[in-house]
Amino acid sequence: MARYFRQVKYFMNNNNPDLSVCIAGVKFSNPVIAASGTFGYGKEYAGMVNAAELGGVCTKGLTLKARTGNKGVRIWETPSGLLNSIGLENPGIKHFIRHELPALREMGAVVIANLSGATIEEYTEGAALLNGTSIDMIELNISCPNVRDGGMAFGLDPARAASVVAPVRKACSKPLIVKLSPNAPDIKAVAAACVNKGADALSVVNTFTGMAIDIKKRAPVFNNITAGLSGPAIRPIALRITWELAAAVNVPVIGLGGIASACDALEFLMAGAAAVEVGAATFCHPQTMIEIIEGIKGYMIENSVSCLNELKIKRQQ
């Protein structure tokens, strides 16, 4: 009899693996999340991507007041990558709450508000405003390389990261993900400081600081000189950081950076990520995230994996 039940369980798991994941008490139907700044507020992809099929949608970076973003060139293709210098263009948190959130909420995926600011006060006030809404989680962006004040400046150093995470934690009761910068000299120390001040999860990574020069003009391409590099070029480094942080902290780690296929996503899940975010790949092929979800499911069926946790590589103590 026991053998029969084992067989039934095997059959059920094998054909219907559980792709759901719970992060800080929030249940995602699958581990694939649209990364901030690459999926707008969801409606931009209406008719192309059914957001209800995604695990979650992370909004474009939001700030207390509307921002027009950076002048000049904002996007520059590189081999296997993309440099961007958007500068956090967004309509402001109040506008988001009134005009974007209702439709995004209706789409059915977990809603994560990506929050940025130039000062600690701006971050804190923004968190308090978002706390009174129906969003599911906040992703605190202390890693944007494309703004002069705030952003990545808070994410490079453990003490500065703690100085913003602590008051934001106090200002809101929503589950808090902190998005870290790969440009930090010691990202493990920054991660520890964030967790110590109340981060419920971490997402790694935001973009790497890079630059490009226009040889015809003999001048830097971007007005800010530097910009943020994303795409497949950064994937092996993002994977290494995910692997290291997953072992170093006791909160879930969300992995991202150059994920463009189910195989890429599986590498991050095996490295210990609880979920993944997909960014620049959606620009090339809007269906990427849907295909990744199907691909993860297919892999799990083929390899008799019943839940995501089983994918994680077991490490020697």
Ligand X SMILES: Cc1cc2nc3c(=O)[nH]c(=O)nc-3n(C[C@H](O)[C@H](O)[C@H](O)COP(=O)(O)O)c2cc1C
Residues of this chain that interact with ligand X (CB under 6 A) are: 35-38, 60-61, 82, 84, 86, 88, 114, 141, 144, 179, 206-207, 230-231, 234, 256-259, 278-281
Give me the least distance between CB of 88 and ligand X, in Å please.
Answer: 6
Q: How far is the CB of 83 from ligand X (least distance, A)?
A: 9
- C-alpha to C-alpha distance for 201 and 195, rounded to whole angstroms: 8
45: helix, strand or coil: helix
**Looking at beta carbons, which residue is closest to ligand X?**
37
Residue for token digits 């170093």? Answer: 248
Beta bridge partners of 113: 138
- Closest distance between ligand X and the C-beta of residue 33, in Å? 10
Find the shortest distance in angstroms from Cβ 61 to ligand X.
3
> What is d(CA 54, CA 299) in angstroms, rounded to the nearest whole number?
18
What kind and span of H or E run contains 174?
Answer: none
Would residue 144 show up in a list of annotated catalytic residues for this protein?
yes
CA angle 139, 126, 137 (to 5 degrees): 30
Q: Name the nearest CA neighbour of 293 among 14, 40, 54.
A: 54
Q: How far is the CB of 294 from ligand X (least distance, A)?
A: 18
The residue among 126 and 257 lying less far from ligand X, judged by its C-beta, is 257
Contacts of 188 (CB under 8 A, 6+ apart): 244, 245, 248
Q: What is the CA radius of gyration of the chain?
A: 19
244 vs 310 by CB, closer to ligand X: 244
| Count of C-beta atoms within a 10 Å radius of residue 185 | 8
Beta carbon of residue 299, minimum distance to ligand X (angstroms, whole number) = 20
Give the containing element (helix H, strand E) for 105.
Answer: helix 101-106
Distance, C-alpha 49 to centroid of its chain: 18
Q: In angstroms, rounded to a whole number, what is the distance separating the alpha carbons of residues 83 and 75?
A: 6
Minimum Å gap between C-beta 15 and ligand X is: 30
- Say which of 22, 58, 144, 284 is annotated catalytic: 144
With b meaning 16 or more CB within 10 Å and e meaning fewer, what string describes 238-271? Answer: bbebbbbbbebbebbbbbbbbbbbbebbbbbbeb
Q: Give burial (CB, 10 Å; 0-12/13-18/19+) of 202.
A: buried
Name the residues annotated as catalytic: 144
